[in-house]
């Protein structure tokens, strides 16, 4: 290791003194202007990891669903997986070392991990469409080359495409060809094979509206679309030609606000979906004939996929085991449906796909999804062996085995992938002849609410039991237990976020009002017992899509009685400011005192 060169080049990517960052659930994420030194150092670290594992390592420059001004970086391990936990710690040490300590930290990591510095290193780099990404990925490359590593810069890629490239390169191309062309061909071929098996009702021309969050997903779906257009026509919205990345659109927006993205016109019963900013998450939705919005999230996606795979296994006559992995955010109805109706074992892990991915590897077929739409399915070598042996099976079983083989090829087993998941879902819906409403009707989600609470130090909250119970601060869990008892079919938990400086609160109950009240009461308990800062959590009534809907919300609030003399916090987006004005008029004529605050959603 040429430490002189490291020092010299590091000075060109100097760390702002005092800046401390943590390699969190999804790598480093913060304002783009604070990340140059982190990128250079992650280039160094990726080269070391590559030397140690004698494999290709990936570096992705993205901040996923964060605002456009942010950026981030994460490393991808040899089998396309998230970086090993011990190396996450090294990443944090290296990113936070002051300039004069850099050499010592690098040597420490190399010694601790017994890295042979003479070994070659190879790193592949990808980036999303943020204005800051190109320059930042160049800083990663500087880091790789200063340690004598070689690199391949894929340029613009979705995050899951980079995971796929790493996986292909480290498995001698058995998984696929490590090019975009290879990715498009592998997935499209599998999709077209599956679609061919769908019994054609004649009138079904499959089409889907896709909100691309103004991100990389739009570019890559455009490139890919002609490979599968015979089987599915996609109509792209928020394709980056005008709107801002993730602004009022994308999977995260749709899931957390439980409403459609801006910039997409939805006719009743049309199938629509949203990707997030780096295209590793997907959620579906539709408007029913009465104009009501229905969200089909990661839980329902996992249900559709696992029920289809289970049926295939039954048809093939194989006793391979199948498991579904969720987090505490999974809707209680989904867990009940999977366990009680489908009789599939369900496991709960901590938040963050690396936890779900590892658990899913324990099964012959492991399906994992976070409620926000990030997930995939993993297949063991036992499954592949059984498929190979299916040549001898009778016709019907062979057909099912062939279907399984294609569906395996269609999944991105390296990481959750919006494009791959979209094609899997479309294929399953076609094969089963299901409409989006029939899929949605598998079970009814329990009403739920997620809130964020600001505290001075979110580390005062520690949790156990896959984050479903708070251990500290003292008294918090007991308070939550008492609050939960007040509502029917209720559940609530709190945990410190791994990507934002907030405590997340989740509550579900038999009605939206109950879920909202419970979430609010739990937020207040967090605020009081865990050192809340800023404004106290308040009961919250969101502004509706239309003036009429908003008026109705406010009236409901009055109707509750409890709203009297309450502070009503009205959140409104830019475009709904006019509605806010109308509700101000309502305030003037009402007998209830409303202290109105206008805050921006997002
Ligand atoms: C409730 C929620 O959606 N949490 C998200 C979010 O993590 P937090 O640790 O909750 O901030 O970002 C992660 C990375 O994208 C994602 O894996 C996870 O599901
Ligand atoms: Mg993402």
Residue 464 is labelled as binding a ligand = no
* Active-site annotation, residues: 64
CA dihedral defined by 363, 301, 245, 500, rounded to 10 degrees? -60
Residue 459 is labelled as binding a ligand = no
Lowest average pLDDT, out of 54-58, 278-282, 508-512, 562-566, goes to 562-566
Instruction: Tell which one of 498, 501, 502 to mutate to probe ligand 1, the residue whose CB is within 8 A of the most ligand atoms.
Output: 498
User: Which residue has better confidence, 526 or 574?
Assistant: 526
Place of tokens 């936070």: 96
Domain ranges of the chain: 3-156, 183-294, 298-416, 448-530
CA distance 209 to 285: 10
Residue 388 — very low, low, confident or very high, per pLDDT cuts 50/70/90? confident
Closest ligand to Cα 22: 1
Residue 193 — very low, low, confident or very high, per pLDDT cuts 50/70/90? very high
CA distance 103 to 115: 15
For the chain, the average pLDDT equals 89
Helix (H, G, I), strand (E, B) or coil at 293: strand
Nearest alpha carbon, ligand 1 atom 2 = 372
* 298-416 matches 183-294 in CATH topology: yes
What pLDDT score does 73 carry? 97
Q: From ligand 2's centre to the CA of 166, what distance in Å?
A: 18
What number does CATH give the domain 183-294?
Answer: 3.40.120
CA 407-413-416 angle, to 5 degrees, is: 100
Q: From ligand 2's centre to the CA of 279, what distance in Å?
A: 6
Give helix 381-389 / helix 395-410 axis angle, nearest 10°: 140
Nearest alpha carbon, ligand 1 atom 1 = 329
DSSP 27: B
Ligand 1 in reach of 25 Cβ (< 6 A): yes
What pLDDT score does 543 carry? 45
CA distance 237 to 212: 6
pLDDT in tens, 330-387: 999 999 999 999 999 999 999 999 999 999 999 999 999 999 999 999 999 999 888 8
So what's the ipTM on this one? 0.99
Q: Of ligand 1's atoms, which has the minimum distance to the CA of residue 26?
A: 14
pLDDT in tens, 480-516: 999 999 999 999 999 999 888 899 999 999 999 999 9
User: Can you list the positions of beta strands (E) in 554-596?
Assistant: 569-572
Nearest alpha carbon, ligand 1 atom 3 = 372
Place of tokens 């994992």: 368
Residue 318 — very low, low, confident or very high, per pLDDT cuts 50/70/90? confident
What number does CATH give the domain 298-416?
Answer: 3.40.120
Q: Of ligand 1's atoms, which has the minimum distance to the CA of residue 496?
A: 9
Ligand 1 in reach of 351 Cβ (< 6 A): yes
Q: From ligand 1's centre to the CA of 370, what distance in Å?
A: 9
Query: pLDDT at residue 591 above 60?
Result: no
Nearest to 282 by CA among 213, 355, 226, 352: 213
CA distance 544 to 550: 4
Residue 370 is labelled as binding a ligand = yes
Q: How far is CA 429 from CA 84, 155, 168, 195, in A?
A: 36, 34, 29, 10
CA distance 80 to 100: 33
- Percent of the chain whose pLDDT exceeds 90: 81
Ligand 1 in reach of 77 Cβ (< 6 A): no
CA dihedral defined by 428, 433, 436, 437, rounded to 10 degrees? -140
pLDDT in tens, 433-474: 999 999 999 999 999 999 999 999 999 999 999 999 999 999
Q: From ligand 2's centre to the CA of 42, what distance in Å?
A: 19
- Segment holding 207, helix H or strand E: strand 207-211
Nearest to 594 by CA among 568, 572, 570: 568
Residue 224 — very low, low, confident or very high, per pLDDT cuts 50/70/90? very high
Nearest alpha carbon, ligand 1 atom 10 = 497
Ligand 1 in reach of 372 Cβ (< 6 A): yes
CA distance 581 to 594: 13
Q: How far is CA 291 from CA 167, 258, 288, 545, in A?
A: 43, 14, 5, 11
- Three-state DSSP string of 362-406: CCCEEEEECCCCCEEEEECHHHHHHHHHHHHCCHHHHHHHHHHHH
- Exposed (0-12), middle (13-18) or buried (19+): which is 571, by Cβ within 10 Å? middle
Q: Of ligand 1's atoms, which has the minimum distance to the CA of residue 64?
A: 15
Query: pLDDT at residue 395 above 90?
Result: no
Sign of CA dihedral 92, 97, 99, 104: negative
Instruction: Tell which one of 370, 458, 500, 519 to mutate to probe ligand 1, the residue whose CB is within 8 A of the most ligand atoms.
Output: 370
Nearest alpha carbon, ligand 1 atom 18 = 352
Q: From ligand 2's centre to the CA of 325, what distance in Å?
A: 19
CATH fold for the domain made of 3-156: Alpha-D-Glucose-1,6-Bisphosphate; Chain A, domain 3 (3.40.120)
CA distance 133 to 59: 12
| Token output for 325 | 């992995």
Q: From ligand 2's centre to the CA of 252, what distance in Å?
A: 9
Closest ligand to Cα 280: 2
Q: From ligand 2's centre to the CA of 24, what distance in Å?
A: 14
Ligand 1 in reach of 62 Cβ (< 6 A): no
DSSP 20: -
Query: Any residues with CB less than 8 A from the CB of 323 and at least 6 apart, and which?
Result: 344, 345, 346, 347, 359, 360, 362, 363, 365, 366, 367
Query: pLDDT at residue 241 above 70?
Result: yes
DSSP H helices in 411-460: 418-432, 436-440
- DSSP β-bridge partners for residue 295: 285
Q: Of ligand 1's atoms, which has the minimum distance to the CA of residue 353?
A: 17
pLDDT in tens, 14-30: 999 888 999 987 899 99
Query: pLDDT at residue 590 above 60?
Result: no
Domain spanning 448-530: CATH superfamily: Alpha-D-phosphohexomutase, C-terminal domain (3.30.310.50)
pLDDT in tens, 104-125: 999 999 999 999 999 999 999 9
pLDDT in tens, 472-481: 999 999 999 9
CA distance 556 to 369: 35
CA distance 181 to 194: 20
pTM for the whole structure: 0.89
Ligand 1 in reach of 102 Cβ (< 6 A): no
Closest ligand to Cα 448: 1
């Amino acid at each position: 290791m040429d430490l002189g060169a490291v020092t010299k080049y590091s000075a060109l990517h100097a760390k702002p003194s005092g800046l401390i960052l943590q390699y969190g659930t999804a790598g480093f994420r913060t304002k783009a202007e604070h990340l140059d030194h982190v990128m250079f150092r992650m280039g160094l670290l990726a080269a070391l990891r590559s030397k140690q594992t004698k494999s290709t390592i990936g570096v992705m420059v993205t901040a996923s669903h964060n605002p456009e001004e942010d950026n981030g970086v994460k490393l991808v391990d040899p089998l396309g997986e998230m970086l090993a936990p011990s190396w996450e710690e090294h990443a944090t040490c290296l990113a936070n070392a002051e300039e004069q300590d850099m050499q010592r930290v690098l040597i420490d990591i190399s010694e601790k991990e017994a890295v042979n510095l003479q070994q070659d290193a190879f790193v592949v780099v990808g980036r999303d469409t943020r204005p800051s990404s190109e320059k930042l990925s160049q800083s990663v490359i500087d880091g790789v080359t200063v340690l004598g590593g070689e690199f391949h810069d894929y340029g613009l890629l979705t995050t899951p495409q980079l995971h796929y490239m790493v996986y292909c390169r480290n498995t001698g191309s058995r998984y696929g060809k490590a090019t975009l062309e290879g990715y498009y061909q592998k997935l499209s071929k599998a999709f077209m094979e599956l679609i061919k098996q769908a019994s054609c009702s004649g009138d079904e021309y499959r089409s889907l509206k896709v909100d691309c969050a103004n991100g990389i997903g739009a570019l890559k779906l455009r490139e890919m679309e002609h490979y599968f257009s015979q089987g599915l026509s996609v109509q792209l919205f928020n394709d980056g030609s005008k709107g801002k990345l993730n602004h009022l659109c994308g999977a995260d927006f749709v899931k957390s606000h439980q409403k459609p993205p801006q910039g997409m016109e939805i006719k009743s019963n049309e199938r629509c979906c949203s990707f997030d900013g780096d295209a590793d998450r997907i959620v579906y939705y539709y408007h029913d004939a009465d104009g009501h919005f229905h969200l089909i999230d990661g839980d329902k996606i996992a249900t559709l996929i696992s029920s289809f795979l289970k049926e295939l296994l039954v048809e093939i006559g194989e006793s391979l085991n199948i498991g579904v992995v969720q987090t505490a955010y999974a809707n209680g109805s989904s867990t009940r449906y999977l366990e009680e109706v489908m009789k599939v074992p369900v496991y709960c892990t901590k938040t963050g796909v690396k936890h779900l991915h590892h658990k899913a590897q324990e099964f012959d077929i492991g399906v994992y999804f976070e409620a926000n739409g990030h997930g995939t399915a993993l297949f063991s070598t036992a499954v592949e062996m059984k498929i190979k042996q299916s040549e001898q099976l009778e016709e019907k079983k062979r057909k099912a085995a062939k279907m399984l083989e294609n569906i395996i090829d269609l999944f991105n087993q390296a990481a959750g992938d919006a494009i791959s998941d979209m094609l899997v879902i479309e294929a399953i819906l076609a094969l089963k002849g299901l409409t989006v409403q029939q899929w949605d009707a598998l079970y009814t989600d329990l009403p739920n609410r997620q809130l964020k609470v600001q505290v001075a130090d979110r580390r005062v909250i520690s949790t156990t039991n896959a984050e479903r119970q708070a251990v500290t601060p003292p008294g918090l869990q007991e308070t939550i237990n008492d609050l939960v008892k007040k509502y029917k079919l209720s559940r609530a938990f709190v945990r410190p976020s791994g990507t934002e400086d907030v405590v997340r609160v989740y509550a579900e109950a038999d009605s939206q009002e109950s879920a909202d009240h419970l979430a609010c009461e739990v937020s207040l308990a967090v605020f009081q017992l865990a050192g809340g800062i800023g404004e106290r959590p308040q009961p919250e009534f969101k502004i509706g899509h239309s003036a009429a809907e908003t008026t109705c919300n406010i009236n409901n609030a009055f109707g509750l009685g409890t709203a009297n003399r309450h502070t009503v916090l009205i959140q409104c987006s830019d475009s709904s400011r006019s509605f806010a004005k109308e509700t101000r008029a309502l305030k003037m004529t009402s007998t209830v005192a409303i202290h109105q605050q206008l805050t921006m959603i997002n």
